[in-house]
Structure 1
């Protein structure tokens, strides 16, 4: 009889090992399923990100580079709107960049931040109206690299008008050498001089 007990023990051990193996396979399958689900959710969340939310997460970063045509504006990312970014390329030298003109961005940390309702409404026109109110002398560069220097006289719903004059002259009728209308869709950047 001792022999039968020993044989029964061996069979039970084999069944125990089989169940242990099945449990391990099931656990491994659960882990793989969870990993696949996490990966899929991550892909879905990343697919919803846009440039605005990526830039918002990096406001304050000091080495962000925005490539606009054949130049890179590198500096501290000061602020971001839904269709513009403000980069301080040197202390006290901010440049307003139209996001549609941006051809690439470097220096971003991972992550995104959901914009507030106010941030979503403060569009390029509003930022340009603030510059226009100051009557500051600016350099306006379009997406082709053409630069105009002068004072922004008008900011419409989809364009700005600049009274062109020398950077070291005040905006007076006698100093205006021409006027240019720049549609927002062709605007590259605006920099105070």
Structure 2
């Protein structure tokens, strides 16, 4: 081997070492970036990727609710259970099982998916169906939803009495049909 071949072999070896160091550094950087990017993933985006899947959501004051995930909004979801539907306020969710490993970022949501809990409650009120409101403290109220305000919902209970229920204490609304 002459001096030129030795020099080229030495330079090739240095280049391979540099490439290996670069790849190791890049793998570490990608892992760090992946962790920091995942920190932006929300529960709602994971639920959005799980539409039409069977899920179980554990709620404050209610316990586990299982069924097919039908709709997801920014602060609520609709679960179709055995012969009844559940509108669940996501702030009352303690744990979720059965969701997809993927997520759907908010920019990919349909305009309908951007409607909040108030829209879901107004839809229930429009149907006039009897419901059971479950509170985060375990209380329940049976009745028909009426008007929906900015931070409350009217519920017509026994004997035609109207009760205002603050939205922040609602864990779920269960249809009674």
Q: Could you say whether these structures have the same fold, taking a TM-score greater than 0.5 normalized by the shorter chain as the test?
A: yes
Provide the C-alpha distance between the structure 2 equivalents of 1:25 and 1:102, rounded to a whole number of angstroms: 51
Asked if residue 179 in structure 1 is aligned to residue 162 in structure 2, the reply is yes
Query: 1:190 matched to which residue of 2?
Result: 173
Larger radius of gyration: 1
What is the TM-score normalised by the length of structure 1? 0.80
- Flag the structure with more relative contact order, 1 or 2, with Cα contacts below 8 A and sequence separation at least 6: 2
Question: Deviations along 1:110-133, whole A, 9 cap, x unmatched?
Answer: 11112234422x110110000001
Structure 1: runs of 5 or more not aligned: 1-8, 166-174
Query: 2:124 matched to which residue of 1?
Result: 131
Query: 1:81 matched to which residue of 2?
Result: 73
Provide the C-alpha distance between the structure 1 equivalents of 2:167 and 2:31, rounded to a whole number of angstroms: 39
Query: 1:119 matched to which residue of 2?
Result: 113
Query: 1:151 matched to which residue of 2?
Result: 144
Asked if residue 59 in structure 1 is aligned to residue 28 in structure 2, the reply is no
Instruction: Say whether the 8 Å CA contact 2:144–2:155 is kept in structure 1.
Output: yes
Query: 1:101 matched to which residue of 2?
Result: 92
Structure 2: runs of 5 or more not aligned: none
Shift in Å at residue 109 of structure 1? 1.4
Q: Secondary structure at the match of 2:66?
A: strand
Shift in Å at residue 146 of structure 1? 0.4
Provide the C-alpha distance between the structure 2 equivalents of 1:102 and 1:181, rounded to a whole number of angstroms: 22
| Higher mean C-alpha displacement, 76-85 vs 11-20 | 11-20
| Higher mean C-alpha displacement, 28-37 vs 72-81 | 28-37
Shift in Å at residue 26 of structure 1? 1.1
Provide the C-alpha distance between the structure 2 equivalents of 1:179 and 1:103, rounded to a whole number of angstroms: 30
Question: Deviations along 1:20-47, whole A, 9 cap, x unmatched?
Answer: 4322221211211221232232123212
Query: 1:41 matched to which residue of 2?
Result: 33
Q: Secondary structure at the match of 2:143?
A: strand
Instruction: Say whether the 8 Å CA contact 2:47–2:100 is kept in structure 1.
Output: no
What is the TM-score normalised by the length of structure 2? 0.87
